[in-house]
Amino acid sequence: MESLRGEIELKYQAAFTAHKKTSDRVHKLKYNYEVIVYLKQGQVEVPQLPVATDYKDAILIQRKVIEDQNKEIIKRGDAKVEKMEKISEFKTFLRKVRYQKKKLDLEILDFEERAKDVQMYRVTK
């Protein structure tokens, strides 16, 4: 009786294992199949192989997601350019102010020298 039970148990285990393998294979075949996809050139970022390209690491991204990212990048770039223009205008203004200060300092020096020259003139009748 015990040997019969052991034999049935072994047959059951073998049948269960076979059933498990079969169901796994059916499940795999049901959801894992190959599809040939034709994409426009320049939009595939998977290295092209001379024989057969492997697309297992490729992902498809919706065009809207990419366009949204591009809009965000353009917006940030425009903001950066605007800031750089403001910095450039400020630097130009600062140079003008420094130039005016230097000019006024030289004029003051010139007027002081002229005053000294006038004071040094000999007064004659």
Task: Tell me which DSSP letter residue 27 carries.
Answer: H
Span between the terminal Cα atoms of the chain, in Å: 156
Q: Is residue 81 part of a domain?
A: yes
Domain-located, residue 69: yes
| pLDDT (mean) for 3-8 | 86
Confidence of residue 125 (pLDDT cuts 50, 70, 90): low
Q: Does residue 28 lie in a domain region?
A: no
Counting residues of the chain whose pLDDT is more than 70, the rounded percentage is: 82
| Amino acid in the structure at residue 93 | F
Q: Residue 26 domain-assigned?
A: no
77 within a domain of the structure (yes/no): yes
**42, part of any domain:** no
- How many domains, the chain? 1
Q: Which domain holds residue 96?
A: 61-120
pLDDT above 80 for 33: no
Whether residue 30 is contained in a domain is answered as: no
Q: What is the mean pLDDT of the chain?
A: 85
pTM score over 0.85: no
Look at residue 39 and tell me if it is in a domain. no
Using the predicted structure, report yes or no on whether residue 64 has a pLDDT greater than 60.
yes
SS (H, E, C) 12-62: HHHHHHHHHHHHHHHHHHHHCCCCCCCCCCCCCCCCCCCCCCCCCCCCCCC
